[in-house]
Amino acid sequence: MTRTTPTAATDRTGGPDVVLLRQRLRRVAGQVLGIERVIADGRPCGDVLVQLAAAQGALRAAAHQALTRHAHMLTTAVAAGTTTPGDAADEFAHLTALHTHAAAGPPTGPARSGARR
């Protein structure tokens, strides 16, 4: 499978959707720095967990935005004849699976019983 980009110029200049994605990522970076401050200040674990959940939600939204942009890029590449529909579908399925797996979080195992180790 060949990775597809419509043109190098589009990737460099990005356009408005890339500007919005970068703004979103800067906000996420600020949230992460805020989490570090919450921990450094010795705030309760509950406060830390609330901030972590907010940052994770913001990252999921950024990933969804990037995946949506890539879907449009793949559609453009198929229409332009620079990739096949099958290759585009394979690539999109692969990236969607990565995104879905990352959004699912860590696997959960059976509940522990008894003593702690």
pLDDT for res 51: 94
Phi/psi of residue 4, nearest 5 degrees: -120, 135
The answer as to whether 99 is a domain residue is yes
Q: What is the pLDDT of residues 10-21, one digit of tens each?
A: 445 578 888 999
Rounded (10°) angle between helices 45-80 and 85-104? 180
* CATH for 79: 1.20.58.1000
| Token reading at 65 | 């935005």
The answer as to whether 3 is a domain residue is no
54-59 long-range Cβ contacts below 8 angstroms, 24+ apart = 55/28, 55/31, 58/24, 58/27, 58/28, 58/31, 59/28
The answer as to whether 53 is a domain residue is yes
- With CA atoms as reference, report the closest residue to 32 among 62, 4, 7, 2: 62
The answer as to whether 67 is a domain residue is yes
User: What pTM, to 2 d.p., does this model score?
Assistant: 0.70
